[in-house]
Structure 1
Amino acid sequence: MPCQLLADCLTEIFEYLDDDYSTLHSCLLVNRLWCGISVRILWRNIWYLKSSVDFQHRFKVESAILSTLITCLPNESKELLYNNEIFIPTPTSKSPLFNYPAFCKVLPITVMCRTINVALDKIPISSLSLKDRNCLVMNEVIKMFMNQISSLKRLTYEYNKYYNNLHCTDFTSFSEAGDCLIDLSELRCNSNLPSEFYYQLSQKCHNLLSFTLYIKTTNFDIELKKLISLQNNLKNLRLSAYYEVDWTDIIPVLTKHFNTLTKLHINGEFEFIPLSFVASFSNLQEIRFLFIDGSEFEGFETLQYVTFPKLQILNIPCQCPEPEYMMKFLENNGKNLKDIKIWCGGGFLSERKVLKTVAKYSPKNFCELKIYNLMNSKLRPKDLESFCISWKNRKPKRSLSLIIIKNYCISLEEDEENMKVIEKYESLGIIKFNTRNHLKEKDDDFKFRGYY
């Protein structure tokens, strides 16, 4: 009993180190108990341990992970690889200390394919082509995961033309996965995957909470639409469009989730997206539009009149709708917003209008405003002071965090008179002023768009 109590306590402590991989790795070396607890946490999302380091080192780490997984393969899979002259070095000839695949909760198929490509590229060619060898190893590894994982939480499958063994993956193992996919809560995938992939998932996976779709085809697979339609409680939806797409047949499938969806992120790159369908999601708490070409906001003309009673976060970090549309939208929805991120300057909203709108329409608990300066700031000290006075007179009193995202332009704090106003109201506790480099925000946007 004391030993079990210690194990439970250590488990709870180690859970707080979920993202501190270096410390968790050190815990492996303390003793058998610490090793057994920390290894389970490390392997839940093992493929992303070193995503921030340089590529060469990351591939080295991923290859070590693959070698460990090869030792975990069942004997029939090892024999199959041996018979096809596929010899992947393993850290030991003995049985592994743990059944590592059983600990995994995240399965990134694209990362696994890349790792297998790199590993096998260094092994002499056998009677099989490189592509066939990659496919064989990939299918045996996926089959092992499907048989060993009790409950998968996140699955990512983003087809990349450089890893063509993705399209020869055999997904029949998905149908043999038992309950592994029933509780899958997050799926990230492309629209140009084999229809068999969507079909196999739709047979068991009906409880997605988050779905990210990178649209890379001109139309939508019928099995993909079926998979989306079958979800019971979809809350987060992310769409990234890269091609000219006919949205006619996918919109009814998306709007079927009007009652459950709370977060909607849409990214468009030189692609017109009919934003009017967003009006169907009356329970949205967060909206994010990231468009490279402002023409995508033509559909925002309809949204300006729509009220989202639960909307708390509005994020438009790259270009903006027409100023009059944006102002009307904020008038209708500002009372509930807690966080607003929008671009200012040029043909977009002016800083003065943004501050005036926030002061007039933001809710009592609003506490953070981020302004992206596209052009040199034209905010005058008297307008900034007028805003600060309005904020000071709000009831109940609450300080506002005003964050300026600095681009390659002159932002408002570079005006000496503006800084005097800022310092005055900072000393009174009315505002908290800060600046951030636009590259950090751009980094966050790239993550959303699936670049890494």
Structure 2
Amino acid sequence: MAQTIKKIFCVGLKKKHQSTQRTQDKIPQNKTKPKWKRLFSLGRKIKKDSKNQKIEQDNHNVQEIDKKKKVVILPTDCLLEIFKYFRDDLKTLHSCLLVDKNWCISTVRLIWKQPFLNKKSPIIIDVYLSCLTLHERKNLIKNGVNLSNITKPASFHYANFLRHIDMKNFYAAVDARTARMKESKIIENRTTNLICRALCRLFMTKCENLQTLRLNWNYVGEWKGYPILPYHRNASTFLYELSELTIHKINTRDIFLDMEKHSKNLIKLEIMDYCFDNLPEHRHESIYTLIKNQNNLQHCKLFAYGTCPVIPMKALDFQTKSLTHFELIYAKFISDESYNAFISLSNCRNLKTLIIEYCYFENQDFLQPLINTHFPHLHKIRFGSLQCNASEIFVELIKKNSSSLRDLHYSDDVSRQFNHLILETIVTYSTTSLISLSIPFRNYQTPQLITLLSFSNQLQSLKLIGPYGHERAFVEFLPILAKLLPNSLRHFSLDLNWVIINTLQQFLSNLNARLNTLYISGWSRRIRDEDVIMIKDYLQQNNPEIDLHDFLKDIT
């Protein structure tokens, strides 16, 4: 009995000891310390935690400051250079406008540098009207001009940024603005005239200098006095740095002599749609003086229908070192003096581009001075629709200047009747360097075409005019031609008028070149639905970013 009680007691002590041990294990270590030690340790921990938190906060603040310091603020000149790449992308420029003050100022300059080039928005006119002084606006209102939508002054002096102006588009924008007011036609014309004159005065007084000026006598309604610009008292300052001048069909005043007084630094001069028939000799002399007195004329275009502009062309003798680009369109050369005009042109040895189109030569020998001259920098020749067979002149120019030529374009109204040696000459003298080529083509010239394509590793644009009367045979040749086209080719045009292209699928499949445009002249009359599907499939696989409408375009 005693033994039994002892065992029970021992078991009880063991259980109690085990429970006590487990309880001690559960008690935190710091609770075994005295109270003052526990409080001291707790204080040190709190202080250490707050100190670490403060250090972390300070480190975060330092990092933020470093980030701000790393933000690079580009100077205005750099921004302007960058934004030049977006000058035709108004959506992007308007986005840049909202970044900050520096970007805004730089973008505004670029947007308002050329507001009237290919633009006719009446909103532009409202912005310029807000730039007028209070006195000028009151004067317009007094004369019946509705300015109710001009509620606040302009944010910038927009006229200060103006560098390029097309007067036809400027007038059209003003006209659209007055038409929007829905007033009578008489009031509209009077309002348009008043606004045009007020804004011309604004441009002349606020714009520092103008770089491009286009004067067009067409589509100006009743406001015939808009060439006010050359006659303003600030014209010498305003037009002194003018580098590009285009005069289009102005016959009522001697604008050429007036412009010569103010602008002697023209780089580009274009006289467009100007009739030389029955023109007084003093007007010829005025154009001569304008060309002669330029310090560095590089680009000259005479789009002059009627009697030949012999006297103006003689002024090229004074631009022999600077002239690099010359165009002659719709001129008649019937007198013996025409020979002297082309002598002056042949003296311009630095010529890079020569374009003669839609001209008539009574005697082909008028162009003889061009054959006798070597132009070491000539890279582009374009002869088009001449009323005499000028292929011999074109061929001789290729032979004389083959080392520098890159762009060759020839078409002639009489090319169907004559056998040209143009392709043969190109293969012999100027094959590997060509970038762009447009020429008449005959089926019997296929071996020369194959040779040309085999060696033209830089060719980007090719237009074949013809073959007339042998189109079906050429259509069968298209799949083979596709394999021959160089990988560099991007634009391809064929003059096939009445033939259904039944080999288009093979042609597209065999193409190694990644074309950006493809044009068949017959498609302007009719293109089959199945052809459209084939072309869309080709674009989807090779150039998905190009639209079908943009793809089916002629080269020239």
Is the shorter-chain TM-score for this pair beyond 0.5, marking a shared fold? Answer: yes
Verify: 1:192 aligned to 2:282, yes or no: no
Moved more, 325-334 or 313-322: 313-322
For the structure 1 residues 68 and 303, does the alpha-carbon distance in structure 2 shift closer, same or farther, using more than 3 Å as the test? same
Alignment of 1:292-371 (within 5 A): 299-319=366-386, 321-343=389-411, 345-347=415-417, 350=420, 353-362=421-430, 366-371=433-438
Residues in 2 aligned to 1:172 and 1:416: alpha-carbon distance in whole angstroms: 61
Residues in 1 aligned to 2:132 and 2:363: alpha-carbon distance in whole angstroms: 49
For the structure 1 residues 11 and 284, does the alpha-carbon distance in structure 2 shift closer, same or farther, using more than 3 Å as the test? closer
> Contact 1:109/1:155 (CA < 8 Å) preserved in 2?
yes
> Contact 1:287/1:314 (CA < 8 Å) preserved in 2?
yes
In structure 2, the partner of 1:212 is 270
Residues in 2 aligned to 1:361 and 1:387: alpha-carbon distance in whole angstroms: 11
In structure 2, the partner of 1:403 is 462
**Structure 2: gaps (5+ residues):** 1-68, 494-518, 525-549
Verify: 1:266 aligned to 2:328, yes or no: yes
Amino acid at match of 1:232: N
In structure 1, the partner of 2:313 is 251
For the structure 1 residues 161 and 97, does the alpha-carbon distance in structure 2 shift closer, same or farther, using more than 3 Å as the test? closer
Verify: 1:230 aligned to 2:293, yes or no: yes
Deviations 1:113-171 (A, max 9, x none): 22223333445359x86555433322221111111111211000011155341345534
Shift, 1:105, TM fit: 0.9
Alignment partner of 1:86: what SS?
Answer: coil
Verify: 1:420 aligned to 2:510, yes or no: no
> Contact 1:262/1:286 (CA < 8 Å) preserved in 2?
yes
Deviations 1:284-318 (A, max 9, x none): 11111221768797733553333323211112244
Shift, 1:43, TM fit: 0.9
Residues in 1 aligned to 2:555 and 2:209: alpha-carbon distance in whole angstroms: 29
Residues in 2 aligned to 1:302 and 1:408: alpha-carbon distance in whole angstroms: 32
Amino acid at match of 1:362: S
Alignment partner of 2:311: what SS?
Answer: coil
Alignment partner of 1:72: what SS?
Answer: coil
Q: Which has the higher contact order (CA 8 A, sep 6+)?
A: 1
Residues in 2 aligned to 1:258 and 1:267: alpha-carbon distance in whole angstroms: 21
Residues in 2 aligned to 1:200 and 1:155: alpha-carbon distance in whole angstroms: 14
Shift, 1:339, TM fit: 1.7
For the structure 1 residues 293 and 202, does the alpha-carbon distance in structure 2 shift closer, same or farther, using more than 3 Å as the test? closer
Verify: 1:382 aligned to 2:447, yes or no: yes
Amino acid at match of 1:159: W
Verify: 1:33 aligned to 2:99, yes or no: no
In structure 1, the partner of 2:89 is 20
Residues in 1 aligned to 2:263 and 2:106: alpha-carbon distance in whole angstroms: 29
The structure with the largest alpha-carbon Rg is 2
- How many residue pairs match? The answer is 418
For the structure 1 residues 83 and 208, does the alpha-carbon distance in structure 2 shift closer, same or farther, using more than 3 Å as the test? same
Moved more, 292-301 or 159-168: 292-301
Residues in 1 aligned to 2:168 and 2:80: alpha-carbon distance in whole angstroms: 31
For the structure 1 residues 416 and 110, does the alpha-carbon distance in structure 2 shift closer, same or farther, using more than 3 Å as the test? same
Residues in 2 aligned to 1:167 and 1:29: alpha-carbon distance in whole angstroms: 39
For the structure 1 residues 399 and 15, does the alpha-carbon distance in structure 2 shift closer, same or farther, using more than 3 Å as the test? closer
Shift, 1:380, TM fit: 4.5
In structure 2, the partner of 1:139 is 197
Shift, 1:246, TM fit: 5.4
- Identity of aligned pairs, percent? 19
Shift, 1:94, TM fit: 1.3
> Contact 2:214/2:246 (CA < 8 Å) preserved in 1?
yes
For the structure 1 residues 202 and 361, does the alpha-carbon distance in structure 2 shift closer, same or farther, using more than 3 Å as the test? same
Residues in 1 aligned to 2:98 and 2:418: alpha-carbon distance in whole angstroms: 56
Deviations 1:18-62 (A, max 9, x none): 2222211222234433322211111111123xx4xxxxxx65xx1
Alignment partner of 1:155: what SS?
Answer: strand
Amino acid at match of 2:374: T
Residues in 1 aligned to 2:152 and 2:480: alpha-carbon distance in whole angstroms: 70
Amino acid at match of 2:137: K
In structure 1, the partner of 2:13 is none
In structure 2, the partner of 1:201 is 259
For the structure 1 residues 346 and 418, does the alpha-carbon distance in structure 2 shift closer, same or farther, using more than 3 Å as the test? same
Which of 66, 69, 73 is the matching residue for 2:128? 69
CA RMSD of superposed structures (Å) = 3.8
Amino acid at match of 2:425: T
Amino acid at match of 2:319: H
Residues in 1 aligned to 2:473 and 2:173: alpha-carbon distance in whole angstroms: 47
Shift, 1:270, TM fit: 7.1
In structure 2, the partner of 1:435 is 492
Shift, 1:271, TM fit: 7.5
Alignment partner of 1:249: what SS?
Answer: helix
In structure 2, the partner of 1:276 is 342
Alignment partner of 2:408: what SS?
Answer: strand
> Contact 2:405/2:434 (CA < 8 Å) preserved in 1?
no
Alignment partner of 1:69: what SS?
Answer: helix
For the structure 1 residues 283 and 311, does the alpha-carbon distance in structure 2 shift closer, same or farther, using more than 3 Å as the test? same
> Contact 2:443/2:467 (CA < 8 Å) preserved in 1?
no
For the structure 1 residues 435 and 297, does the alpha-carbon distance in structure 2 shift closer, same or farther, using more than 3 Å as the test? farther
Deviations 1:172-191 (A, max 9, x none): 65331463211111000135
Alignment partner of 1:335: what SS?
Answer: coil
Residues in 1 aligned to 2:205 and 2:473: alpha-carbon distance in whole angstroms: 58
Moved more, 29-38 or 183-192: 29-38
**Structure 1: gaps (5+ residues):** 52-57, 393-397, 446-452
Q: Under a length normalisation based on structure 1, what TM-score does the superposition of the two structures give?
A: 0.78
In structure 2, the partner of 1:153 is 211
Amino acid at match of 2:447: K
Which of 134, 138, 141 is the matching residue for 1:79? 138
